[in-house]
Chains A and B, each alone.
Chain A
Amino acid sequence: MDLTEEQQQIREMVREFAVKEVEPIAHEIDETRRFPKETVERMAELGLFGIPITEEYEGAGGDNLSYILAVEEISRVCGSTGITLASNFSLGTYPIWAFGTEEQKRKYIPDLASGRRMGCFGLTEANAGSDAGGTQTTAVKKGDRWILNGTKMFITNASYAYTCVVTAVTDKKAKKKHQGISAFIVTKDMKGFTAGKKLDKLGLRGSDTAEIILEDVEVPEENLIGEINGGFKFFMQTLDGGRISIGALGLGLAQGALDKATQYARERIQFGVPIGRHQQVGFKLASMATEIEAARHLVWHAARLKDRGLPYSKEAAMAKLFASEAAYRATKDAIQIYGGNGYSREYPVERYFRDAKLCEIGEGTSEIQRLVISRTLLNE
């Protein structure tokens, strides 16, 4: 799986950064549920937030695969930091970059690509999860403004983001409910916008997940993304890209768990030999490594399709589905290889396991990925 020299350089740089600056605090931010602002600042300095954005908009002018490599390498040491990066770009930045007007791009992208400001994406609501078209947030036109009301939940980076791309119903009478939804850019400084309660989570505890409450928020007309009632396809396409990044999150976590388990299997002696020499342990490592390699092929392949401008929706769903489930199995088996130590919070593998579970839920559950894949198969 050849990488270009630049992709290799980027991967090595991010790996070095991850090992030197992210891994040392990974346990602490998980334990204390602390959002590591200093890491976000460093990622901004290193240019990680705008990898596939052109230089004109203060990005690095790299490709999508390079961005995916960055998410993978960060997640290899810390899932929380991995999802912070992945959400900020794939969900917070990409919809404006891909579907925004030139004016919207000029106004918001440089801040997001340089990391001066963070962004988030508000799709999920209490009654609109897997069924993302079930949005109850409303936008009502009043003069040249839209008045937004509603509550979004489970929004990554909500407490720290300046921009939030939200979906809202603009036509209640639409024949099909997804034909009446639009996407808007709202900002933290708009009156009536509040980031609410932070979610206390099983894993990814050093990442921020919170509610966004919109109370009579007046949004200027020019903040509508694309055409009116056309929001559904934008966020479906946003999720297609986001899924590759969640695949990379799972891939990184799985690889990190394998690295640790391999090391442990070399060092831990039982019955007079390193436990890796007991076939049942060695074969576990072999299965983990094989699944991880397969997941990497799928994730990188989907990223490359996107880079080439080819359709990638099905491949992104497959990559996310497989990498997430591989991550779940690999992190579970890493705990098994560590034995009692694996169950202990003194060792990192239980954190990987808790973090990996999210991959099967966020940006469409595994069930929804199977639904997406089967639909494309049956319609093909």
Chain B
Amino acid sequence: MKIAVLVKRVADSETRVKVGGDGTAVDPAGVQYVINPYDEIAVEQALQLKAGASAGGEVIIVCLGPKDAAKEVRKALAMTADSAVLLADEMPYRDSYGTAKVLADELKELSPDLIISGRISIDSQVGAVAPMVAQMLEMPLITEVSSLNLEGETLTCERAFEGGKEVVEAKLPALVTVQKGLVEPRLPKLPDIMKAKKKPMTEKPAAEIAPKIKVLSMELPPPRAGGEIVGEGAEAAPALVKKLKDEAGVL
């Protein structure tokens, strides 16, 4: 079984990001990058499916990103994925459509049985790429999966949402996007980090596709104001209620 995992490099959520000079993108200076945390879950899920498959399998990482994303791709290989394709992007801005198109073209060639990706990337938070890829490849799409089971060619997934869940089934080939809690991504082991550099990683240029949308401006959320301690114990409750009502306007 061939499983492709879509992996994106994103700024670490611990980094204090700033908006760059032109006001439409994050300033790359001093930013630490990581694998998008949801994609890391996707990698783990793929590895577990491979381990559980009696016929064995192959996990291929597919990443569209700058050349420097090789480091994040190699981390996925250190988690024990088998090979990787890095579609090196030189465009300063690429929208979801352009991203999906490049990935879908690559995936057509790879023709995997299953494609897994994170439900969303934590930086741009659009969540449109995977659905577009599924559409372009005319594959069944199951989003926000919280539990996954594969028997032969049949994929059964649970989709949990507030207060309930849904169980859905699809035939391979299919694309699923994964939710937190599905599996816990492993830390790469040291010997595997060392072996990762010997694993096949194909780097090729990503086709330039004119974006269909344009970012006009970007703003960071306003800094959080300091909290206030109204008092302690039951005596403080009336003052707290008053503040919540009059000042915060939430009651």
Binding site for B on A (CB under 8 A): 5-6, 8-10, 12-13, 16-17, 45-48, 51, 55, 59-62, 66, 269
Contact = CB atoms under 8 A, between A and B. Distances in A.
A48 B74 contact: no
Nearest to A55: B191
Given A6-B197, A62-B194, A13 B188 contact: yes
B71 A5 contact: yes
Main secondary structure of the interface of A (DSSP, over half): helix
Interface residues on B, range: 10 to 19
Given A6-B197, A13-B193, A62-B194, A46 B187 contact: yes
Given A9-B196, A10-B190, A10-B193, 11 more contacts: A9-B78, A9-B188, A9-B193, A13-B188, A13-B190, A16-B187, A46-B189, A47-B189, A48-B190, A60-B190, A61-B191
B190 A62 contact: yes
Contacts of B71: 5, 8-9
Contact of B193 (A6, A16, A17, A55): A6
A9 B190 CA distance: 9
Nearest to B75: A9
A45 B189 contact: yes
A5 B201 CA distance: 15
A357 B74 CA distance: 39
Contacts of B74: 5, 9
A61 B191 CA distance: 7
Interface in B52-88: 70-71, 74-75, 78
Given A5-B74, A6-B197, A9-B75, A51 B190 contact: yes
Contacts of B191: 47, 55, 59-61
Contacts of B188: 9, 13
A235 to B, nearest CB: 27
Contacts of A16: 187
A174 to B, nearest CB: 42
Nearest to A46: B189
B33 to A, nearest CB: 10
Nearest to A45: B189
24 contacts: A5-B71, A5-B74, A6-B193, A6-B194, A9-B74, A9-B188, A9-B193, A9-B196, A10-B190, A13-B78, A13-B190, A46-B187, A47-B190, A47-B191, A47-B192, A48-B190, A55-B191, A59-B191, A60-B190, A61-B191, A61-B194, A62-B190, A62-B194, A66-B190
Contacts of B75: 9, 12
Contact of A13 (B70, B187, B226): B187
Q: What 7 A-B pairs are tightest by C-beta distance, nearest first?
A: A47-B190, A60-B190, A60-B191, A47-B189, A9-B193, A47-B191, A61-B194
A282 to B, nearest CB: 18
A60 B74 CA distance: 16
A48 B78 CA distance: 15
Contacts of B192: 47
Contacts of A48: 190
A8 B75 CA distance: 10
A160 B190 CA distance: 23
A19 B148 CA distance: 29
Nearest to A62: B194
A10 B197 CA distance: 13
Contacts of A45: 189
A89 B205 CA distance: 44
B186 to A, nearest CB: 10
Nearest to B71: A5
A16 B75 CA distance: 13
A4 to B, nearest CB: 10
A251 B7 CA distance: 34
Interface in B98-142: none
A36 to B, nearest CB: 17
A60 B192 CA distance: 8
B21 to A, nearest CB: 26
Nearest to B14: A19
Interface string B215-226: 000000000001
Contacts of A51: 190
Contacts of A9: 71, 74-75, 78, 188, 193, 196
A36 B191 CA distance: 23
Interface in B147-203: 187-194, 196-197
A46 B79 CA distance: 11
Nearest to A42: B187
Nearest to A48: B190
